[in-house]
C-alpha cells in the first residue's frame, strides 16, 4: 500500500514538472509573439508618421511657412522628426539648408536635445549628442565638450563624432585637449575625429604635440603625419630628438616620412640607429616613403637588424625606391648575415619581383642575364620553395624550362651538402 502511494506521489511530481515546462514554453512563445507584434505595430506607426510628416516638411522648404502639423509635434515624435530633418540636411544645400536650420530652432528641437544630454539613461544622452552634431551648431560645442568626460564610453565616442561634425575651431580644440583621456578607446575615437577635421585640427594639435601627455603626443604625431602637415615638422623633429617615450619617437619619425621633406633625412637616419626597435622599424618605413637613393646603405643595415619588423620594413622600403632599391635587395642575397639574405629573398618574393624576373629568364639581352643572376642567387641560399611552385604553375615555354634547369642544377649540390652534413665526425 505504501509503495503504491509513493508511486502516485512520484507520478504527480513528474506530471507537475511536465506541466511547468509546458507552461514556461507557452509563456516564452507568447512573449516572443507579443514582442514581435509590438515591434511590428511600432514600425507601422513610425512609417505612418514619416509618410504623414514628410510632405509638410517639403511644403515648409518651398513656402517658408511652418505648417501647424510640424509645430504640434509630441515628445514621442521627437526622434522621428529629428531623423527626417537630418535626412533632408544630407540632401539639400544653400538656402534650403539654412531653412532647415531655422526650422530646428522654431521647433525647439535643439533645446529638447540639450536637455536630454542630462538624462540618467546613457542611450538618451548618446542620441542627444548624435543629433546635436547634425543641427546643434556652434552653440552646442560647450555641452558636447562636457560629454567627452561622460561616465559612459559610448556617449564619449558619440560626443567626439558630433564635435567633429560641427567642425569649428572650438570643437577641434575641445577634441585635441581630450587626446590624453585616461580611456584608451576614447583617445582613439577622438584621434579619428580630429583627423576627419583636417586642417582645422592643426592649430590645437601642435601645442599638444609639444607639451601634452605621452599618449596625447603619440596620437597627435600620428594625426599630423596622416594629414601630411608640413607645418608640424618643427614639433615632430623636436619629438624625435628629445622624446623620452619610444612610441612618441617612433610615431614622430613615421610622420616625418609621410610628410616627405628630404631635409628631415638626417633626423630619420639617426632614428634608424635608435636603441628601441619600434623607432628603427618606423625609420625604415619613413626612409621608404621619402625614397632617396642615398638612404640605401642605411636600409641595407636595417635589413640585417635582429628584429623581424625592422628587417621587414627595411625590405619593403628598398623595394619602394625603385631599380636601385631592387638592386640592393639582390645584393642582400650574397650578404654574410643570414637575416639579411633571408630578408632579401623574402622581399623579392613578396613584392612580386621574383615572379617578374622569371618571365625574363630566357632573354638574351641584359635583362635576361640579370634575371638569371637573381634567380641563381635566390636558389643559392636555398629559397627554392616559391620558385618550385612557380615552375609548376608557369605555362610551358623557354622561361619555364630555364627556371627548371636552374633548380635542377642546384639540386645535386644541395644534396651533396646534405650528405656531407650527415657524415659522422672522423669518417671519410
Please indicate, yes or no, whether residues 331 and 403 belong to a single structural domain of this protein. no
In 162-192, which positions are buried (b, 16+ CB within 10 angstroms) versus exposed (e)? bbbbbbeeebbbbbbbbbbbeeeebbbbbbb
Residue range 397-421: mean pLDDT, rounded: 70
The predicted structure's pLDDT at residue 5: 66
| Same-domain pairing of 380 and 305 | no
Looking at the structure, do residues 298 and 334 belong to the same domain, yes or no? yes
In a domain, 363, yes or no: yes
Helices (H), 75-168: 78-89, 94-106, 109-116, 122-135, 141-146, 153-166
Higher model confidence: residue 226 or residue 11? 226
Average pLDDT for 164-185: 94
Cα 245 to Cα 264: distance, rounded to the nearest angstrom:
20
Domain count along the chain? 2
Instruction: Answer whether 374's CB lies under 8 Å from 348's CB.
Output: yes
Reported as a pLDDT band with limits 50, 70 and 90, residue 418 is very low
270/359 same-domain check: no
Residue 393 lies in a domain: yes
pLDDT value for 24:
81
**CA 27 to CA 314: how far, in whole Å?**
65
- Domain termination residue (choose one: 301, 324, 351): 351
Does residue 327 share a domain with residue 261?
Answer: yes
- Residue 232 in any domain: the answer is no
Tell me: the pLDDT tens digits for 82-101? 998 898 888 888 888 888 88
**Which of 303, 335, 351 corresponds to the end of one domain?**
351
Q: How far is CA 294 from CA 129, 291, 318, 385, in A?
A: 52, 9, 11, 33
Same domain, 304 and 359: no
Residue 72 confidence (pLDDT) above 70? yes
- Determine, yes or no, domain membership for 293: yes
Residues 383 and 306 in one domain: no
Question: Is position 305 within any domain?
Answer: yes
Mean pLDDT for all residues in the chain: 88
Provide mean pLDDT across the span 262-276: 96
In a domain, 156, yes or no: no
pLDDT at residue 56 is higher than 90: no
Q: What is the pLDDT of residue 52?
A: 86
pLDDT of res. 239:
95
Question: Which of the four pLDDT bands, split at 50, 70 and 90, describes residue 422?
Answer: very low
Q: Are residues 318 and 375 in the same domain?
A: no
CA dihedral 276, 279, 280, 282 (to 10 degrees): 160
The answer to whether residues 314 and 391 belong to one domain is no
Domain boundary among 351, 376, 394: 351
Whether residue 310 is found in the same domain as residue 369: no
> Does the pLDDT of residue 253 top 90, yes or no?
yes
| pLDDT-derived band at 419, boundaries 50, 70, 90 | very low
Residue 200 burial (C-beta neighbours within 10 Å; 0-12, 13-18, 19+): middle
Q: How high is the pLDDT of residue 416?
A: 42
Given pLDDT bands bounded at 50, 70 and 90, which one contains residue 40?
confident
For residue 260, what is the domain's CATH number?
A: 1.25.10.10
CA–CA gap between residue 4 and residue 12 (Å, rounded): 12
Residues 338 and 275 in one domain: yes
Least confident interval from 126-140, 190-204, 310-324, 396-410? 396-410
- The alpha carbon of residue 206 and the mean position of all alpha carbons in its chain are separated, in whole angstroms, by 23
- pLDDT for 424 equals 39
- Domain of 371, in residue numbers: 354-410
pLDDT tens column, 4-32: 666 667 677 777 778 888 888 887 887 77
For residue 254, being part of any structural domain is answered with yes
pLDDT of residue 6: 64
**DSSP class of 149:** G
Question: Using the 8-state DSSP alphabet, how is residue 182 labeled?
Answer: S
Rounded to an integer, what distance in angstroms lies between the CA atom of residue 373 and that of residue 370? 5
CA distance 208 to 177: 7
Distance between CA atoms of residues 203 and 222, nearest Å? 15
Same domain, 332 and 248: yes
282-336 pLDDT, tens digit per residue, is 999 999 999 999 999 999 999 999 999 999 999 999 999 988 999 999 999 999 8
H-type alpha helices, 243-307? 246-259, 265-271, 277-290, 296-302
Decide if 267 is inside a domain. Answer: yes
Residue 3: the pLDDT is 58
Asked whether the beta carbons of 166 and 141 are under 8 A apart, the reply is yes
Amino acid at each position: 500500500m505504501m509503495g503504491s502511494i509513493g508511486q502516485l506521489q512520484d507520478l504527480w511530481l513528474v506530471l507537475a514538472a511536465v506541466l511547468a515546462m509546458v507552461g514556461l514554453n507557452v509563456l516564452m512563445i507568447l512573449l516572443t509573439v507579443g514582442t514581435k507584434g509590438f515591434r511590428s505595430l511600432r514600425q507601422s506607426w513610425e512609417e505612418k508618421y514619416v509618410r504623414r510628416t514628410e510632405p509638410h516638411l517639403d511644403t515648409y522648404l518651398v513656402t517658408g511657412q511652418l505648417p501647424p502639423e510640424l509645430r504640434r509635434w509630441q515628445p514621442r515624435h521627437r526622434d522621428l522628426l529629428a531623423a527626417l530633418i537630418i535626412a533632408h540636411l544630407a540632401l539639400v544645400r544653400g538656402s534650403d539648408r539654412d531653412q532647415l536650420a531655422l526650422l530646428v530652432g522654431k521647433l525647439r528641437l535643439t533645446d529638447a536635445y540639450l536637455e536630454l544630454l542630462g538624462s540618467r539613461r546613457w542611450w538618451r544622452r548618446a542620441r542627444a549628442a548624435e543629433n546635436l552634431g547634425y543641427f546643434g551648431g556652434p552653440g552646442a560645442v560647450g555641452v558636447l565638450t562636457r560629454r567627452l568626460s561622460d561616465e559612459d564610453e559610448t556617449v564619449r565616442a558619440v560626443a567626439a563624432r558630433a564635435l567633429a561634425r560641427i567642425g569649428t575651431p572650438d570643437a577641434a580644440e575641445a577634441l585635441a585637449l581630450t587626446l590624453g583621456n585616461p580611456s584608451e578607446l576614447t583617445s582613439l575615437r577622438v584621434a579619428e575625429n580630429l583627423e576627419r577635421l583636417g586642417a582645422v585640427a592643426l592649430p590645437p594639435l601642435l601645442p599638444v604635440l609639444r607639451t601634452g601627455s605621452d599618449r596625447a603626443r603619440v596620437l597627435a604625431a600620428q594625426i599630423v603625419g596622416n594629414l601630411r602637415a608640413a607645418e608640424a615638422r618643427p614639433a615632430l623633429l623636436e619629438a624625435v630628438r628629445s622624446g623620452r617615450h619610444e612610441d612618441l619617437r617612433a610615431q614622430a619619425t613615421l610622420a616625418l616620412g609621410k610628410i616627405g621633406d628630404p631635409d628631415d633625412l638626417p633626423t630619420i637616419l639617426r632614428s634608424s640607429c635608435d636603441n628601441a626597435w619600434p623607432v628603427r622599424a618606423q625609420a625604415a618605413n619613413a626612409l621608404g616613403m621619402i625614397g632617396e637613393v642615398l638612404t640605401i646603405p642605411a636600409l641595407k643595415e636595417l635589413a640585417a637588424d635582429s628584429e623581424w619588423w625592422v628587417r621587414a620594413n627595411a625590405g619593403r622600403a628598398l623595394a619602394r625606391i625603385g631599380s636601385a632599391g631592387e638592386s640592393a635587395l639582390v645584393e642582400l642575397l650574397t650578404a654574410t648575415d643570414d637575416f639579411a639574405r633571408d630578408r632579401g629573398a623574402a622581399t623579392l618574393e613578396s613584392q612580386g619581383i621574383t615572379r617578374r624576373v622569371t618571365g625574363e629568364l630566357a632573354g638574351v639581352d641584359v635583362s635576361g642575364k640579370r634575371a638569371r643572376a637573381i634567380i641563381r642567387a635566390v636558389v643559392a641560399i636555398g629559397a627554392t620553395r616559391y620558385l618550385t611552385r612557380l615552375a609548376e604553375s608557369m605555362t610551358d615555354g623557354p622561361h619555364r624550362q630555364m627556371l627548371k634547369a636552374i633548380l635542377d642544377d642546384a639540386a645535386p649540390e644541395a644534396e651533396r651538402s646534405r650528405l656531407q652534413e650527415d657524415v659522422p665526425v672522423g669518417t671519410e
